[in-house]
Chain A
Amino acid sequence: MSTADLASDVSRAADALRRVTVEIRTNRRGLGAGVVWREPRAIVTNAHVVGTHQTCAVHFADGRTKEGRVVRTDENRDLALIEVAGAGDDVEGAVPADAARLRPGEVVLALGHPFGMSGALAIGVVHASGERWIHADLRLAPGFSGGPLADAAGRVVGINAMVAHGLGLAVPAAAVEEFLRA
């Protein structure tokens, strides 16, 4: 095994994450990311990405742009559920994994659209994994909000929500599922 293998693993993982990540625009300036969740099938983002808007433009990885309706938000968890008519089973959904099993030092990947740059990857490690937040040592920027935080196997462990003291904070997958089923 060589570092070239590692690099191709990382780019493969990034490609897989790009397929389940969407871009969300509420107006010309607002831009965030979202994740197509597999079960229950839904698009998840941060509440702060959609703000008070009731609709948003959802840009899929396959190039389609559709109008999304903000179904529900949870300000406390910073989560929003978006419904897109006609975006059903033909769109790949993210496979979630329980963040409670994350270990400090584990590699994590984040995908987002910082400064309007589509599908950018950030890589780092788990700093600490708590019930409320996953703390990740990786460099996030505005535009990563609402996007996926994934483990080395490409499973989505959380939704990136904010940066605090230089650490990326993500909402754990279990909390996302709880929100989706509520």
Chain B
Amino acid sequence: MKAVGARLPRYDGVAHVTGKSVFVDDVRIPGTLCVKALRSPLHHAGIVSLDTSKAEKMPGVHAVVTHKDVPLNVYGHLSALGIPADEPLLAEDDVRWLGQPIAAVAAEDEDTALAAVEAIKLDLEERPAVFDMRIAGDPDAPQIHHWGNWYPHFEAEMDVRQIRKGDIDAAFDAADVIVSGVYRPAAIEQAPLETQTGLAVPEADGRITVYSCTQALYFSMGVVAAHLQVPLNRLKFVGGTVGGGFGGKVDTAAEAICALLALKGGRPCKWRWTREEEFLCSSTRAAWHIEIADAVTKDGWILGRKTLTLHDAGAYARFSPYGVTKHSFHHTGAYSIPNLHFDGYVVFTNRSPTSAMRGYGVTSVSFATEVHMSRIAKELGIDPFEIRLKNANRIADTSPNGIAYTDPSTVPTIQAIAEAIGHELPAEYRAMTPDPREGDLLPEHLAAQVGEVDH
């Protein structure tokens, strides 16, 4: 145990402070071309025609690619798990968010690449767009997605992520008070200092070396291999030096298009997104709409919870079904609620596709739960620390999806917060531990949910 608790120097610290760290944009390969993309200027439109012939003939332009150049254009981030794919690498029939890539060019320099993008003739037929997930499900809402306006491929082809635990009707019948709230965390751009950047180098032996700023190297490798329809041993991925990610670099962004252009043009191709592209076109954390109703007793026990969650996937599914699943597993926060009725929908809108960011799917419902706990305390006239400690997860309590907690830290965390801010707790709450429930802390309604823990 030499490392635990010790202040060790960062392994990459000296390189960082001397400018020796090599980020993707710092890699120097002779003959590297500059990549730029034609992106949708509209939020939602049909593609009537796309003509790249003028751009292809421009001096200094080495390759132009559209959907026709992609061996497998539609491939999803969850495809490897057998989940159907919905998103094209390059748009084919329609565009569903402002900034969706339609074509890409590789040219001698940035000015030539920008001029070539300008020379691509694109004819769009604008369609009505939806930006508010609360109306995307209305019968008269414009259809955004070919699957319908919400994701239909949860297990058993259900169109909703559900959790049913205990007896929700009995909980609401037994309640003294029903406390309701609506919580709407907004979308956030991860905003790493390093924008999305990729560099693909065609090697003499037919392989492609890809320099990537991804947070998920082997994952990106699989995605690129699938789009290109090449075996994994044709690709060499170089990564690990990431200029900030925060979840925004889990989805594969620049690599596949760089690799496609490198193969077609026969030259190394680098694509560094502008700051504007990073904000407008890269994935963001999703906006959420969370409605909670809790069945509560006068003395502060939470008997049951009904939840409706809408998750704004943006234009395509990406990881959203996974995010909502995590959200459902954590939807009681740090507290044990034995009777649950949860419905979560992945809703499509014409916003940028959304993805991971710092506690994917969980932070939204942690926020909702914490505000809701304080709301219940206020409504009942109970101390907000005491109601949290009373309902806090303890060893052998079970999560919404039925996993028994082995080492929950809720009780000591809340006690530490109370101490840090000088909030006086009664002796019985100061003495609380995470140990399994017993006595007054094991009321009848919590008995059935207690699980087995291996010691």
Query: Do A and B interact?
Result: no
